[in-house]
Amino acid sequence: MKKFVKIVAAAALLASSAIAAEYTIKLSHVVSDATPKGKAANFFADRVAELTNGKVEVVVFPNAQLYDDNAVMKALKLGNVHIAIPSFSKFTSLVPEMQLFDLPFLFDGPRGVHAVMDGEVGQILKDKVTAKGFVALNYWDAGFKHFSSNVKPILWPEDAKGQKFRIMSSKVLEEQIKAVGGNPQVLPFSEVYSALQQGVVDAAENPLSNFVTKKFNEVQTSLTLSSHGYLGYLVIMSERFWKKFPNDLKPLIIQAMDEATEYERKLAAEDEAELLKKMREYEAKTDDFTIYELNDEQIAAWKKAMEVVYPKFYDSIGEDLIKKAIEEQK
């Protein structure tokens, strides 16, 4: 009987909290709840409920249940969804300056990229996105990209010569591969495994999360922990929705998002360490796969080789913005 009373009381509490919610925020993203992004989205929802005493409810739709990253931009404009977390690549046609994050060897690890994102350059880029009819909130981590190959280990710039690299659609990434004599091939992510397996491409660049979950270690003989490029997300809100949202509640939403951002970055770092551990264990069990790390001399050689890429994007990204990003990391 006591158990029954407790269940009824819990149900009543849940019902009352649902009734108490005066505002609903619909958050859409394309990955699973188990990822750092997914966990942080749920954390954000919980914190909003706590901070607003149940007055605001955030409903999270993972796994592209509502929209993929392409369709969500239009949905935000119409107010059909309120928050989304697209990758940077979805913004470059709207704000070419966002190509800054594609520039090779620009960032000095997580410390460097966070200094830029949380500094003046990051705010300039958010302002440019906001000017396009969104409300740019915070940057979330996906991770740094690493080179892999089944032809030869990519340790020096000359090792890339003649290799066919799968890349995402990006002018910066095309120039990056061409700068070291490689052959860039734009392919959908869903086709990468079979393309590597069949020799359509020889090499790729991926964060560890993509490399491990898609089992690219099965079709690549080497992985170089190059951290040469960065992948990230920008949390954006519907401008139409935000303008109508009560001003007294806005600071609480911002606070919850700031806390969720810190949480997401922590999870992403932990995830990276765990994935690397998994690959080290795999490496120890097979003779067909080796992990390499670049030394200081090799990193210097890569940075020198990539210097030619930067001036090609002074017009679209902005020479001052690139130099400011470098300066913010010192």
Angle among Cα 123, 139, 275 to the nearest 5 degrees reads 150
The strand pairing partners of 26, in sequence order, are 59
Given a contact cutoff of 8 angstroms between Cβ atoms, the answer to whether 235 and 90 are in contact is no
| Pairing between β-strand 183-186 and β-strand 222-238 as defined by DSSP bridges | unpaired
**Per-residue pLDDT, 70:** 83
Domain limits for position 297: 2-327
Residue 105's Cβ-count burial label (10 Å; 0-12, 13-18, 19+) is buried
**How many Cβ atoms from other residues are within 10 Å of residue 280's Cβ?**
10
Distance CA 126, CA 131 (A): 9
Closest CA to 171 of 157, 187, 184, 161: 184
Rg (CA), the chain: 22
Distance CA 329, CA 115 (A): 6
As given in the structure block, the two tokens for residue 252 are 């609480």
| Pairing between β-strand 134-149 and β-strand 203-207 as defined by DSSP bridges | antiparallel
- The domain that holds 296 is classified in CATH as 3.40.190.170
Given a contact cutoff of 8 angstroms between Cβ atoms, the answer to whether 58 and 52 are in contact is no
The sign one gets for the Cα dihedral 125, 129, 135, 136 is negative
Q: What is the pLDDT along the chain (330 residues), one digit of tens a residue?
A: 444 444 444 444 444 444 578 999 999 998 889 899 999 999 999 999 999 999 999 999 999 999 988 899 999 999 999 999 999 988 999 999 999 999 999 999 999 999 999 999 999 999 999 999 999 999 999 999 999 999 999 999 999 999 999 998 899 999 999 999 999 999 988 899 999 999 999 999 999 988 998 999 999 999 999 999 999 999 999 999 999 999 999 999 999 999 999 999 999 999 999 999 999 999 999 999 999 999 999 999 999 999 999 999 999 999 999 999 999 999
The strand pairing partners of 57, in sequence order, are 24
* DSSP H helices in the chain: 2-20, 36-51, 71-78, 109-117, 120-130, 171-179, 192-198, 208-213, 239-244, 250-285, 296-306, 319-327
Distance CA 170, CA 98 (A): 11
Closest CA to 223 of 265, 168, 282: 282
Distance CA 83, CA 256 (A): 13
CA distances from 239 to 113, 135, 190, 191, 256 (A): 27, 6, 32, 35, 18
**Per-residue pLDDT, 19:** 54
3-state secondary structure of 33: coil
Angle among Cα 219, 179, 121 to the nearest 5 degrees reads 95
Q: What is the pTM of this model?
A: 0.86
Number of domains in the chain: 1
Ramachandran bin of 63, using left for φ above 0, alpha for ψ from -120 to 50, beta for the remaining angles: left
Distance CA 139, CA 141 (A): 7
